[in-house]
Amino acid sequence: METSNVPSFPPNAVIREVGLRDGLQSIQRILPTERKIEWIAGAYAAGQREIEVGSFVPARLLPQLADTAELVTYAKTLPGLRVSVLVPNLKGAGRAIETGADLMLVPLSASRAHSLANLRKTPDEVVAEVARIRAARDAAGSKTLIEGGIGTAFGCTIQGRVEQPEVLRCLQALLDAGADRVSIADTVGYAGPAAVRELFEKARDIAGERFWCGHFHDTRGLALANVYAALETGVARFDATLAGIGGCPHAPGASGNASSEDLAFMLAGMGLETGIDIAALLALRAMVARWLEGETLHGTLWLAGLPTTHAATATTDA
Amino acid sequence: METSNVPSFPPNAVIREVGLRDGLQSIQRILPTERKIEWIAGAYAAGQREIEVGSFVPARLLPQLADTAELVTYAKTLPGLRVSVLVPNLKGAGRAIETGADLMLVPLSASRAHSLANLRKTPDEVVAEVARIRAARDAAGSKTLIEGGIGTAFGCTIQGRVEQPEVLRCLQALLDAGADRVSIADTVGYAGPAAVRELFEKARDIAGERFWCGHFHDTRGLALANVYAALETGVARFDATLAGIGGCPHAPGASGNASSEDLAFMLAGMGLETGIDIAALLALRAMVARWLEGETLHGTLWLAGLPTTHAATATTDA
C-alpha cells in the first residue's frame, strides 16, 4: 500500500465577492444604489467578509459603477468587512484612499496586446503606475492595501498565448514596485487545473503569502477545478460572483465568474471554513436574481439545492 | 524555495461516452435507432473508443433503450471500439454475453436504502448476483468483462450519509465475487474533490488497476473538479455524456453528467492524450442537440468555443 499523498489544504478559505464590480460592469442595466447596499448587507449577513464593491473608473465608461464611493462609505460601516475596489490608475487610487477602502486592486494584463487594447498601457507602464500609487498611498499615510492583479495570465483572446515567464516577471515587477499583494486571473477562461497548479506554485515561490488570490472565469466550465488546483498550492482566497454573473463580452451567454454559492459549497465539502452560511447565500442569490431578471445567470447549486447531508455551519438572521 | 509537489498525471485518459445510456434513459422521448447509430458513428469518428450504448433492462421499464442489442451489434463493427452496456442482473448479463459486448457494468448502490428502492436488492444481494454473472460468463467462455459500479458512493438523497468503509467493503466484495473491474459513481452529485481524492486513493489501494473508472454528476457544478481530484490518484477513465445529458430526476433542470466535450477540453489542457478531436465532438454535440431540441442540455465549451490557443490534436473527417 502506497503512502497517501493527499495534499493538506489550508484550514480556512476566503471567497471575495466581486459580483458588484466584475459582475455588474458586464451587465447593461444599472442596479440602483439602494439595491447594491441591500446586496452588500445580505452578503455580510451570510458571512462574507471581503467584498469588492466597485471600480473608481470614469462614470462615462462604466455608469453601472458610478456610485462606488457611496458603496465604500456604506460598506465601511460593517464591522470586520474588508472593502476593496478596482482602480485603473493613480487618479482612481486617490479616490480609493480618500474613501478609506481597505484594498485597491490595480489590474495589469500580462498579454501585451490585451493590455494595450484595454488599458492603453504596456504591462511595464502599469507597473510604473503601481509605483506612483504606492508613493501616493504612503505619502497620504493611508492603510489602503495595494493589490496588483495580473490578468490574461493563461492566455488571451487577442494575443493568444501568454508565456509563464512573462507572467512571473510581471508579478515580481509588481512586488518590486510596492504592491502589497499580488493575484492572478484567468480573464478569458483559458486556464485548466494543471496549468493553474504549475503557475500558482511558481507564483507562491516568488511572492509567498503576498500572493493571495485567484480569479477564475467559468467560460469553459473549469473555474471550480481551477480553484481546487490552486488550493493545493496553498492559495486560499478566490474571487467569485453571486450567480456567476459577469464574464466575457466576446461570448454572449458564456458562463462568467466562478459562482460564489457553488464555490462555497465546494469549500464546505472540503472541510474548509469560510464563515459563509450557504442557505443564506442562496436566499440572497434568489433576491439578486429577481433584480437581474432577464440577464444570464449561472451556477448549479441554486437549482439542485444543498444535499440532505449538508450540515449548517453558521446561523444568521438572513 | 520548496520542492515542487506537482502530481504526475497518467499520460493518457479515456472518456467513456455514456450519453446513449445514462443520458437517454433520463429523457422521455425515444431517439430512433438510426439516430443512435449516427451518434455512435460520430463519436467514433471524433476519436472516442469506449461507448456505453445502452442497458439490458426490460423494455417496459426503459423503452428508450429497447434497441440496445441492435446498437451493440452495430458498435461491434467499429474496429477498436470497446462496447459496454449496463446490466441489472443475470438475465441482462446473458444478453450482453450473447450480443458480444466487451464489457457489462453491474450497478450496485452503496446506500442500502437507495439499493432497496431502485434495485429491490441489498448491496450484498447484488454482490451475489455478480458472482452468478461471473459463473455464467465463464461457463459461456465469453470474454465480456464484468465491471461492478458502486453508485451513491458519496451520499444519497434517500439515506443521506453513506459511510466510506461501507463503500470500500462493497468494492472488495465485488472483486471477491469475480468482478474484473470496479468503478465508483457519485450518482446524486454530492461529492466534492477532497472526498473524491480520499475515497479514490483508498479504492486504488484495494483494487489497483482494476479500479478504473469514475462517474461524476454535475448536479452541483463539481464534476470536473472531481475528475481532476480523481486523476491525482491515478484513475484515468471517466464516464461522461455529450452535452451533459442525464441527471437526477428529483431535480428537474439540474445539470446531469460531466459533459464529454468540456471534460475533453480539460484533459487536453492538462496534456493528457484522449484521442479525441474536440472540434469534431462539438460538431457532434450540435447534431445531437438538434435531435434533442427542448431537452435541458449542459456544458459550456459549445457556447464559448475553443480558445484561440487550442491546438488541433487529430484530424478526422467529421
Q: ipTM of this predicted complex?
A: 0.90
Backbone angles phi, psi at A232, to 5 degrees: -65, -20
Mean pLDDT, rounded, of chain A? 93
Taking the C-alpha atoms of residue B144 and residue A303, their distance in angstroms, rounded to an integer, is 40
User: What single-letter DSSP state applies at residue B110?
Assistant: S
The per-residue pLDDT for A3 is 41
Tens of pLDDT, residue by residue over A26-42, are 998 999 999 999 999 99
pLDDT at B247: 73
Question: Tens of pLDDT along A104-125?
Answer: 999 999 999 999 998 899 999 9
Q: How far is CA A264 from the centre of its chain?
A: 14
Of A6, A220, A303, the CB nearest to B304: A220
pLDDT at B2: 38
Task: Give domain limits for chain B.
Answer: 14-304
> Which residue do the cell numbers 445531437 mark?
B288
Q: Which of A223, A220, A218 is nearest to A193 (CA)?
A: A223
Q: Which residues pair with A147 in a beta bridge?
A: A105, A181
End-to-end CA distance of chain A: 48
Position A312 pLDDT exceeds 80: no
Q: Is B291 helix (H, G, I), strand (E, B) or coil?
A: helix
Chain B residue with CA closest to A255: the answer is B300
How many CB atoms are closer than 10 A to CB A270? 18
Mean pLDDT by 10 residues, chain B (318 residues): 58 97 93 98 98 96 96 98 98 98 98 93 98 98 98 94 97 98 95 97 97 96 97 97 82 78 97 97 98 93 91 44
CB pairs below 8 Å between A and B: how many? Answer: 151
pLDDT at B224 (0 to 100): 98
Type and span of the H or E element at A157? none
Q: What is the pLDDT of residue B312?
A: 53
Please list, in sequence order, all residues whose beta carbon lies within 8 angstroms of the beta carbon of residue A273, skipping any fewer than 6 positions away. A11, A12, A13, A313
pLDDT of residue A7: 65
Helices within B222-306 (DSSP H only): 223-231, 260-269, 278-291, 301-304
Active-site residue numbers of B? 248
B138 reaches A (C-beta below 8 A): no
Residues B258 and B106: their CA atoms lie apart, in Å, by 20
Distance (Å, whole) CA B88 – CA B97: 13
Catalytic sites of A, residue numbers: 248
| Contact state of A1 with B205 under an 8 Å Cβ cutoff | yes
Question: What pLDDT, on the 0 to 100 scale, is given for residue B281?
Answer: 98
Q: Does A77 touch chain B (CB under 8 A)?
A: no
With the CA atoms of A167, A168, A172 and A175 taken in that order, what torsion angle do they form, in degrees rounded to the nearest 10? 60
Closest residue in chain B to residue A155, using alpha carbons only: B309
Name the β-bridge partners of B150: B108, B184
Matching CATH number, A14-304, of 3.20.20.70, 3.10.50.30, 3.90.100.10, 3.20.20.150: 3.20.20.70
Q: Is the pLDDT of residue A4 over 60?
A: no
Percentage of chain A exceeding pLDDT 70:
93
What residue ranges in chain B does DSSP mark as E strands?
14-17, 50-55, 82-86, 103-109, 145-151, 181-186, 211-216, 237-240
Q: Do B253 and A303 touch (CB under 8 A)?
A: yes
A267-306 residue pLDDT tens: 999 999 999 999 999 999 999 999 999 998 999 999 999 9
Is-contact A226 A193, C-beta < 8 A?
yes
Residue A318 has pLDDT above 80, yes or no: no
Per-residue pLDDT, averaged over A206-229, amounts to 96
- For residues A204-213, average pLDDT: 97
Q: Give the pLDDT score at B316.
A: 37
- Given a cut of 70, is residue A252 above it in pLDDT? no
pLDDT for the residue B74:
98
Query: Do B266 and A195 lie within an 8 Å CB cutoff?
Result: no
pLDDT band at A316 (very low <50, low <70, confident <90, very high): very low
